[in-house]
Chains A and B, each alone.
Chain A
Amino acid sequence: MKVMDRRTLVARLREVVGAPHVLTRPEDLVVYEQDAFLVAHASPDIVVLPGAAAEVGTVIALARAAGVPVIARGAGTGLNGGSIPVAGGLMLVLTRMNRILEIDARSRLAVVEPGVVNIDLSAASARDGLFYAPDPGSQGVSTIGGNVGNNAGGPHCLAYGVTGNHVLGMEVVLSSGEIMTVGSPAVDAPGYDLAGLLVGSEGTLGVITRITVRLLRQAEAVRTLLAVFETIDDASQTVSEVIAAGIVPTAMEMIDAVVMRAVEAAIHAGYPADAGAVLLIEVEGHVQALPGLMERIAAVAKRHRPRVLRQANSARERELLWKGRKEGAGALGRLAPSYYLHDGVVPRTKLPEVMAKVAAIARTHGLVIGNLFHAGDGNLHPTILFDPRQPGMLARVVQAGEEILRACVAAGGSITGEHGVGIEKREYMRWLFTEADLQAMRRVKDAFDPTGLLNPGKLLPDVMSSGAQADVKSPAFSVRPRAGLWS
């Protein structure tokens, strides 16, 4: 491949998107060397902030001609290192493309550019009584494009489903620079469900420049129940039994003692600091239906000796309870200099068993692990607290994290429920998938991006050479040292 001179490429990029939207100075680039996966970083060579799909198309075509990888990025809140340019290259930051193009209230859909911040869409739809359901913890800053790239979840996915259930179609720029429409505002577009494939593809198949999403009707009423238990096992049993009783609340979140103490110290959300675990259970619906539903849930909880069962009596009280959940991770920051937020999933029936394993793993490694997570989905977020300055600490943290994920897999679960694979979990993909399974995924990658231009080194592990052990464990997030594309 003929590599275009860097100076020429930058000059051409400036013509396409305007000089202020092309960043090349090290002090500007450093902002983009990391996302919320805090343990790795790598600097892009050039950052481009396009303003329209046509610009994205031209930029990708130029990058392709120059032989430079292209990495798409939204707000950089991803937790798997998916936007870290491990091989350097050109980063496309899509935050300037932040217009809500259409809200069709009657069809309950919206058309947005990828840089629209998640919560802004719900705010804009609220005047029609609608909202955008996926609500990742980062929704105040993360972009819908990034959410789509990672198939983001959130607490209310229990009832409403993840991002993929709400994306109807999109416009995507392929690695050829061609702009293509997949899916449509009407269901069942003929052909393969490429929109479904692109959701969660972590920028490895195309760069999304426009998204058509489903909106939902806001419920008439909401009730939030706080249930405090002496042990995490009681809370886990309650979650499993509520689901088994045929009740699917809108959200069912668990907060363990470690997190509760941190939250109380930080914001006084009203959680008892000495209990074993708290469940935050929310139901939405009609005023006539909710009291009965709350009674059924309370009846299940009562079988597990709750210390407190309390309904939020006002919107303010509900907000405070949720604030404790949403800011839990931040509050954990007060307990240790650093933390590693994990993401695993298990069948909901296995929650009590796997939570006990997580506690055992923490004991074995002498680590403090906090848990605040989407219990109703079986989606765990064990958060390992540590001080990176302690010698050998990072290795122990990584080891404990891997043991937790292996426990999830052994219980019939998965290595990630909503954070994605990125660079963090590439090698762990082998724990779930055979080489044949992975090869099928590589065919998809090759169909979209035959030269591997888009976000290289993410999502899929490298092809296993014959004779290698299927259960290889390698450093999950080593970033290859490199000399730079042009040096």
Chain B
Amino acid sequence: MSVASDQLIDRLTSELGTDSVITDRATLEAHAVDGLVPRAVCSPGDAAQVAAAIRVCGEAGAAIAPRGGGTAVALGNVPHRVDVVLRTDRLAALVEHDDANLTATMEAGMTLAHLQTHLAQRGQLLPLDPPRPDRATIGGIVAASTNGARRMFYGGVRDLVIGMKMVLPGGEQVKAGGKVVKNVAGYDMCKLFVGSLGTLGIITEVTCKMTPLPERALTIIARDGGSTAEGSGAFRLIDALFASTLQPSAIAVLSPRAGELVRAGGPGVATAVAVEGFTEAVDRHVRDITGMAAAAGLSAEVLEGPAHERLWAAVADFPRSREGEALVRLTVPPGAVATAVDALSRVDDSPVYVAHAGAGTIWIGVEAARAATVFAALTSVAGAQHGHAVLASAPPEVKRGLDVWGSPPPALSIMREIKQRFDPQQLLNPGRFVAFL
């Protein structure tokens, strides 16, 4: 390191103020990334301070790990270095909610739960379903591209973000997109930053499309009671859904053990179908889906109100990292979910999974001790279906032996060029992204 710790901390303190640069042992340890304890944790109060902090780190050659609520801190490879954790907790304001335009602009550190509370008062929501919405921040959700159950209906993070402001590793404050729902002025830089995991810049502000709160929302949960081969009834129901004109907002297939975790009740494989919209449309869905479930040999039950909300909160929370456990995210084309789930049972006797059958994302919980083996097996499963397996969370000792993103993407050379041009000093989350970028 080119600059001694106390000098770096002095410089940060002079830019941000004493209260915004924390160096006590307990705080530093609480902000470790994969066991790497930073030298300082800082909380800039505005974008200009973010820029100042980045410049100081750049001059000192100090590596920065940006951090929102810390809910995705387990995602990615073990970083090469972590010198400063840069938090967005003081950038937590709602900048503008243009409710009649169905758009809102938030500072990056605003939690999703806080935003949803505000939006609900005006009859709207941002249809994203990350784990721990009370802690997950808008900036973090965008940087990690944390998608959830309702993606099949509302689109993913990349579809909902229409503008952002970022601070680049050289300290430049830039913006991308705007606050209109259609915009083709120049390269779509929002797409580059969604899912870039803090490796290209620090997001300080995000503008998203909102959606009206549905008039009615409920769940049809269909169970096989453990009677059929793993999930076969569930996928008969899902095939029927896909062959129809129905438009559920989410479809989650829960393995028996995952069903226990989310307290979906009842033995066997459960299929939860969320339906949202105007009353007449929801009623029609209940009628048709109940019929399809019966035809697939499943028993169906309708969950409304708190039971509906609890179920989906638990489903959203399933992919959170847990002590001593690892988590694999398998993505495949929606039509290949059944095949992939079938393959899971050959990898694990009693797999713990939640499959978002509409989007093609399957979350699989694994014991840490078996994580490397299971991840390798699931990588083959993904490859056979033109999909991807990512070891989304695991203890650092497991992660060190592999690339959690799987084999290098085919366009790695361009990704490397982009990283090099945005962050030539390797300041931001070095080593954490694909192929240790």
Contacts and interface: CB of A to CB of B under 8 A. Distances in A.
A162 B98 CA distance: 21
Which of A153, A193, A439, A459 has the largest count of B CB atoms less than 10 A from its CB?
A: A193
Contacts of B360: 107, 186-187
A211 interface: no
B414 A186 contact: no
Contacts of A220: 245
A436 B173 contact: yes
B180 interface: yes
Interface stretch (B27-35, B56-64, B292-300, B382-390): B382-390
A183 to B, nearest CB: 9
A324 interface: no
A174 interface: yes
B183 A107 contact: no
B180 A447 contact: no
Given A191-B412, A288-B281, A289-B277, A186 B332 contact: yes
Nearest to B435: A191
Contacts of B422: 440, 443
B182 A377 contact: yes
Contacts of B174: 434, 436-437, 439-440
Contact of A186 (B279, B280, B388, B417): B388
B336 interface: yes
Nearest to A285: B281
Given A174-B414, A248-B212, A349-B98, A186 B331 contact: yes
Given A187-B147, A286-B245, A440-B168, A157 B182 contact: yes
B310 interface: no
A85 interface: no
A218 interface: yes
Interface stretch (B6-14, B42-50, B155-163, B260-268): B155-163
Contacts of B278: 289, 292-293
Contacts of A108: 242, 334-335
A440 B180 contact: no
A432 B311 CA distance: 44
Contacts of A153: 182
B350 to A, nearest CB: 25
B377 interface: no
B22 to A, nearest CB: 30
Contact of B409 (A187, A189, A346, A348): A189
A383 interface: no
A369 to B, nearest CB: 20
Contact of B102 (A190, A241, A243): A243
A145 interface: no
Given A193-B158, A437-B174, A374 B182 contact: yes
A347 interface: yes
Interface stretch (B107-115, B129-137, B192-200, B219-227): B192-200
A199 B434 contact: no
Most buried by B among A182, A285, A440: A440
Nearest to A376: B181
A223 B400 CA distance: 57
Given A218-B245, A244-B100, A429-B185, A182 B410 contact: yes
Contacts of A443: 418, 421-422
Q: Interface extent on A, as a size class?
A: 35 or more
B81 interface: no
B396 interface: no
Nearest to B165: A437
A421 B185 contact: yes
A54 B120 CA distance: 53
Interface in A181-226: 181-182, 184-194, 196-197, 199-201, 205, 217-220
A86 to B, nearest CB: 18
Contact of B359 (A164, A187, A219, A346): A187
A291 B178 CA distance: 35
Instruction: Find the residue from A104, A164, A447 having the highest chain B CB count within 10 A.
Output: A447
B172 A289 contact: no
Given A108-B334, A443-B421, A192 B183 contact: no
B345 interface: no
A217 B247 CA distance: 9
A319 interface: no
A427 interface: no
Contact of B185 (A109, A199, A432): A432
A174 B418 CA distance: 14
Nearest to A441: B187
A314 B213 CA distance: 32
Nearest to B212: A246
Nearest to A164: B188
Contacts of A432: 178, 185-186
11 contacts: A104-B335, A108-B334, A109-B333, A285-B281, A345-B181, A347-B179, A347-B180, A412-B180, A414-B185, A438-B186, A447-B417
Nearest 5 A-B pairs (CB), nearest first?
A: A196-B191, A246-B212, A106-B335, A107-B335, A244-B100
Given A180-B413, A414-B182, A437-B175, 13 more contacts: A182-B414, A186-B333, A186-B360, A190-B388, A191-B434, A192-B415, A194-B411, A217-B247, A240-B100, A243-B102, A377-B180, A425-B185, A437-B174
Interface of B: 98-103, 123-124, 145, 147, 151, 155-156, 158-159, 168, 172-176, 178-189, 191-192, 194-196, 200, 211-213, 239, 242, 244-245, 247, 277-281, 283-284, 329, 331-336, 359-361, 382, 385-388, 390, 405-406, 409-415, 417-418, 420-422, 433-434
